[in-house]
Amino acid sequence: AAPGTIRGDLGRDWGEKVQKNLVHGSDSVESATRELGIWFS
């Protein structure tokens, strides 16, 4: 991601195919409710 963006500034490249995120946003209340159970289980 480009410098100056949230992912570019706060994401970390651990040398894997998937970049790990420090920040996440949901697109709806329903998604947030479901994702809270995933993130904090």
- Tens digit of each residue's pLDDT (9 = 90 or more) over 10-38: 777 667 766 666 677 899 999 999 999 99
**pLDDT recorded at residue 17:** 67
**Contact at 8 Å (CB) between 5 and 21?**
no
Distance between CA atoms of residues 23 and 11, nearest Å: 8
**pLDDT recorded at residue 36:** 92
Catalytic residue IDs: 24
**Contact at 8 Å (CB) between 14 and 20?**
yes
**pLDDT recorded at residue 21:** 63
